Amino acid sequence: MVSLQLKALIQKAYEQGVEDGRSKFSAPTIMTRTEAMEFLKCGATTMAELMRRPDFPVIREFGVRIPTHLLMKWIEKHTNWVEQNTKYFDKEAI
C-alpha cells in the first residue's frame, strides 16, 4: 500500500508539473513585440517585416501589441511564410 505521505508527495509533484507546463507552454493574451519575436523564434528584421504587413495582426493604439489568438489565426493562414522566415515550426518534442 502507498502511504498517505507518499500520495501527498506524488500529488504535489503532479500539481507542480502541471503548473510548470502551463507557464512554459502558454502565451500571454496580448504579446509585446519582443514576446512575439521569442514566440515565433525570429529576429528583429523579420519581426519588422511582419509588422509592416497590412494583414499582420498588430494593435498600435496603446503601444505595439499583437493579440495572440489573432497571431495564431494569421499563422494558420500563412504557414508557408512562417516556415520560410521563422523557426516557429522547429520546436522539439518534449
Question: Each residue of 58-75: pLDDT tens digit?
Answer: 999 989 999 999 999 998
Rounded to an integer, the average pLDDT of 32-43 is 93
Q: Which long-range contacts (CB under 8 A, 24 or more apart) does 65-73 make?
A: 65/30, 65/31, 65/32, 66/30, 66/31, 66/32, 66/33, 66/35, 66/36, 67/29, 67/30, 67/31, 68/27, 68/28, 68/29, 68/30, 68/31, 69/29, 71/31, 71/36, 71/39
pLDDT surpassing 80 at residue 1: no
